Structure 1
Amino acid sequence: MQILTETFELTNGVQIPKVGFGTWQVPAGETTVTAVKDALKAGYRHIDTAWQYGNEASVGTAIRNSGIARADIFVTTKLPAKSKTYSESLHYFEESLQNLSLDYVDLYLIHAPWPWNEMGADYSKENVEVWRAMETIYKSGRAKAIGISNFNVQDQQNILAHCEIAPMVNQLQYYIGYTEPQNVKFAQNNEMLVEAFSPLATGFLLNNQQVKAIAEHYKVSVAQLAIKYCLSHDILPLPKAINPQHIAENTKLDFEISAVDLAKLDQLTDTAPGEEHNA
Structure 2
Amino acid sequence: MPLPKSFTMKVADGKTIEMPSPGFGTWASGDTGWCKEAVKTALKAGYRHLDCAWMYGVDHEVGAAIKESGIPRSEIFITTKFWPHFGAPEHVELCLDHCLRNLGLDYVDLYLAHWPYVAKPISRSALEVAQASPDATNEERGILMESRKPVVDWEHTVERIALQSGREGSFVPTWTAMQSLVRTGKTLAVGVSNFSIPDLEELLPHSAVIPISCNQIEAHPWFPNTSLIEFARARGIVTTCYSPFAGQRKDGATLLKDPTVVELAEKEGMDVGQLLQSWAVQRGTVPLGKSGTEGRIRRNFEVREVREETGKVLDGLEVRGGEGRTVDFSEGWGIPLFA
Tell me the TM-score normalised to structure 2 length: 0.76
Once the two structures are TM-superposed, the CA of residue 58 in structure 1 deviates from its matched residue by: 1.1
Query: RMSD of aligned C-alpha atoms?
Result: 2.3
In the alignment, structure 1 residue 234 sits paired with structure 2 residue 233? no
Once the two structures are TM-superposed, the CA of residue 27 in structure 1 deviates from its matched residue by: 5.4
1:217 aligns with 267
1:105 aligns with 108
Which of 302, 308, 314 is the matching residue for 1:259? 308
2:73 aligns with 70
Q: Which has the larger radius of gyration?
A: 2
SS of corresponding position for 1:121: helix
Map Cα deviations across residues 229-273 of structure 1 (whole Å, 9 max, x no partner): 10111101111000112111212223x212222111111122986
In 1: Cα distance, 2:274 partner to 2:33 partner: 26
In the alignment, structure 1 residue 90 sits paired with structure 2 residue 68? no
Map 1:111-190 to 2 at 5 A: 111-115=114-118, 121-122=161-162, 125-163=169-207, 164-190=209-235
In 2: Cα distance, 1:20 partner to 1:64 partner: 18
Task: Identify the structure with the greater helix proportion.
Answer: 1
1:20 aligns with 23
Deviates more, 1:112-121 or 1:177-186: 112-121
2:244 aligns with 199
Identify unmatched segments of 5+ residues in structure 1.
none
Query: Does the aligned pair in 2 maintain the 1:10–1:192 contact within 8 Å?
Result: yes
Once the two structures are TM-superposed, the CA of residue 148 in structure 1 deviates from its matched residue by: 0.7
Tell me the TM-score normalised to structure 1 length: 0.91
2:293 aligns with 243
Q: Which amino acid aligns with 2:228?
A: N
Once the two structures are TM-superposed, the CA of residue 92 in structure 1 deviates from its matched residue by: 1.0
Query: Does the aligned pair in 2 maintain the 1:82–1:114 contact within 8 Å?
Result: no
Query: Does the aligned pair in 1 maintain the 2:3–2:282 contact within 8 Å?
Result: no
In 2: Cα distance, 1:36 partner to 1:197 partner: 16
In 2: Cα distance, 1:140 partner to 1:230 partner: 33
Aligned length in residues: 276
SS of corresponding position for 1:86: coil
Once the two structures are TM-superposed, the CA of residue 101 in structure 1 deviates from its matched residue by: 1.2
Query: Does the aligned pair in 2 maintain the 1:3–1:18 contact within 8 Å?
Result: no
In 2: Cα distance, 1:66 partner to 1:26 partner: 24
In 2: Cα distance, 1:210 partner to 1:34 partner: 33
Deviates more, 1:123-132 or 1:35-44: 123-132
Runs of 4+ in 1 over 3 A off after TM superposition: 26-30, 115-121, 123-126, 271-274
The verdict on how the C-alpha distance between 1:62 and 1:175 changes in structure 2, with shifts beyond 3 A counting, is same
Q: Which amino acid aligns with 1:275?
A: T
1:41 aligns with 44
Deviates more, 1:198-207 or 1:139-148: 198-207
Query: Does the aligned pair in 2 maintain the 1:153–1:183 contact within 8 Å?
Result: yes
In 2: Cα distance, 1:83 partner to 1:126 partner: 15
Map Cα deviations across residues 8-46 of structure 1 (whole Å, 9 max, x no partner): 111231111021000112556442111101111111111
Map Cα deviations across residues 58-114 of structure 1 (whole Å, 9 max, x no partner): 111111111111101111111112323111111111111111110000111111102
1:269 aligns with 318
